[in-house]
Chains A and B, each alone.
Chain A
Amino acid sequence: MLHVQDIHFKYGDFPVLSGVSFSVGEGELCGLFGPNGSGKTTLFKCCLRFLRAEKGTVRICGEDISAHSIEQLARFIAYVPQEHKPPFPYLVREVVLMGRTPHLGGFFGVKRRDKEIAMDALAALDITEFADRPYNQLSGGQRQMVLMARAIAQDTPILFLDEPTSALDFQNQMRIWRIMRDVAEDGKTLLACSHDPNHVAWFCDRVVVVGEGAIVAEGEPKDVISEGVLEMIYRDACAVRTLKGVQMVMPRCVAERCGAQEILIPVGENVTGRMRADVDAES
């Protein structure tokens, strides 16, 4: 679905990406994970063609994106930016209707069908009650939902999400991830930047870890979100444990504080971990 091959990019003389390649399959929710300054955003912008990579190709649905116009590109890539306030108080339904723009023709182009799709997208996220409210007066979480609805209305096979949960509270973060899962179940492909290793581990089908302008690891979250990989990008900040089969990334100091407790078992060492815990408990 999405094939990124050997992308190189420099800001002036400063190399940001050097030889990044990865791919995402159809219907997958893929997390793009990495520390600040690792080149995630730049990679994103190269894929969306905000920036022109000096070398390398990005292919979506088998087609090289550099061969397409902005108008054509918008029919197969939707982009969910980080929530922001536009200067004008557009109503929520108008913002969602903007997602239909690449499909419009004619004088204004807004057709009955487009309005229906916009309303359906609002209904799909269960935020129909916001339809008549000004978008820039909503809370951050609500605005992020509206932007998701807009991307759904855009009806593209692939969606790019730029840190969709970074400014939200826990409940809203989970809500957004659940929506992304639902969208992926509908057969769409999603690529989402995230800073939270837990979110990526819990919700993504696949994770691409970026560090210092190159891919550090790529694969299923249970393999990729490991102490070894996290050590490479965060040095010794993290520990990975499982709680009844669910992966948990936590600060190492916290893991050490309650390391003796039975329920916390280092990934990949289940048997020995449990045994050691048992021994610790007995002693």
Chain B
Amino acid sequence: MTESTGFKQILINLGYDPVEGFGEGRKIAILAALAALLLVTACIAVVMGAYDITITDVYRTILVHLTFGDVAALPKLHNTIIWDIRVPRIILAISVGGALAIAGAVFQGVFRNPLVEPYILGVSSGAAFGAALGIVFPAVFFSIQISAFIFGALAVTLAYILARVRGETPIITLILAGVIIGSIFAALVSLLKYIANDTALREIVFWLMGGFYYATWNDVLLLTPAVIVSFAVLWGLGWKLNILSMGDEEARTLGVNPEKYKFVVIAFATAITAFAVSLVGIIAWVGLMMPHAARMILGPDNRFVIPASLMMGGCYLIVCDTLARTLTTAEIPVGILTSILGAPYLCYLLRHKGRVIFG
């Protein structure tokens, strides 16, 4: 009883207090269901893999780790496969999927356009260039990840500066600046591909397709806290994001400084996108599709869309990555799968829900 009232109090503090005609109970229930779905998907995915391990063995291994039990007593092979390969890989998939989906929701809101994806300001091209530099000149750029992150962030910063006129950053110029910066970096990537030797070229191509092959606990420890913090901030700004999506002038008269909040949300969304991309390469579609799917289920209120995007993005990438590593004996780059599964989904949206969603 006390627990349920405590939970209710939390909901009230979060602003989900029900008022006649203003019920949001259904949406809260859906969010809870999505969280459960994410957990279940993760639990199923951890059992699947190229090397056959029984379900009991899998969960016993995880349980021992979670309860700080005697790890040394476990079979070494099981321990390595489960705890050092599959678990971090799944957590990384959730973090990356969540990060890209939240960033997508935020960008779509700020740019007032439901067809925008997180890569719109050139972060992917910048990161690709950074990664390619790291691959072609390993002596100069000692870490592919750091180089990708720096150039990804640099691309967005350049686009933002380029778009800024008289203290304002109008959406149209920002998008155009993103396109310009993106194409410059894309050209530079092509240049690097041209001068790269065969091994480096192959590595660049693989990087561009994205994948979780090298997922380690280190990556998880880097990315996951950043995603959690950004998620909390952006979720907290969910209502302001609704106001921003009404346009700059209206936002001003509703007491939301558009320049200030646009900068804050773009900065956070870009940071997690660049971070995710620098760790796993370019994974397409998640950032475009998942916010859409969330909006179809929950409506456009970003207080609900942002958490739903996080969970749905996480689920989607777990599913895609599990398929990527189990469908064939060799691994398929996950970016290919997200695109192949994603394109039909968007076709469906366009044909059936186009009028509702695209106005």
Q: Which A residues are closer than 8 A to B by beta carbons?
A: 48-50, 69-75, 77-79, 81, 84-91, 93-94, 98-99, 101-102, 104, 106-112, 115-116, 118-119, 128, 131-132, 134, 136-137, 154, 160
Contacts and interface: CB of A to CB of B under 8 A. Distances in A.
Interface stretch (B79-87, B141-149, B254-262): B254-262
Chain B interface residue number, banded: 35 or more
A116 B19 contact: yes
A90 B242 contact: yes
A70 B255 contact: yes
A110 B301 CA distance: 12
A108 B14 contact: yes
Contacts, number: 118
Interface in B168-213: none
B22 interface: yes
Interface of B: 12-15, 17, 19-22, 109, 112-114, 236, 238-240, 242-243, 245-247, 249-250, 252-257, 295, 299-301, 303, 356-357, 359
Given A50-B249, A73-B255, A81-B249, A111 B17 contact: yes
- Grouping DSSP codes into helix (H, G, I), strand (E, B) and loop, the B interface class, with mixed when no group exceeds half, is loop
11 contacts: A70-B252, A71-B255, A73-B253, A74-B252, A74-B255, A77-B253, A84-B247, A86-B246, A86-B247, A101-B240, A101-B254
A108 B236 contact: yes
B359 A85 contact: yes
Contacts of A154: 254
Given A84-B247, A107-B13, A110-B15, 16 more contacts: A48-B249, A48-B252, A48-B253, A50-B249, A74-B254, A77-B253, A86-B245, A87-B245, A88-B300, A89-B299, A90-B299, A90-B300, A102-B254, A102-B255, A106-B15, A108-B15
Contacts of A79: 249-250, 253
B12 A112 contact: yes
B15 A107 contact: yes
B117 to A, nearest CB: 15
Contacts of A116: 19
Contacts of A49: 252
Nearest to A123: B21
A60 to B, nearest CB: 13
Given A107-B14, A108-B239, A70 B245 contact: no
A85 to B, nearest CB: 6
B303 A108 contact: yes
Q: Which of A69, A77, A84, A112 has the most CB of B within 10 A?
A: A112
Contact of A93 (B22, B239, B256, B257): B22
A2 to B, nearest CB: 15
Given A108-B239, A136-B359, A89 B19 contact: no
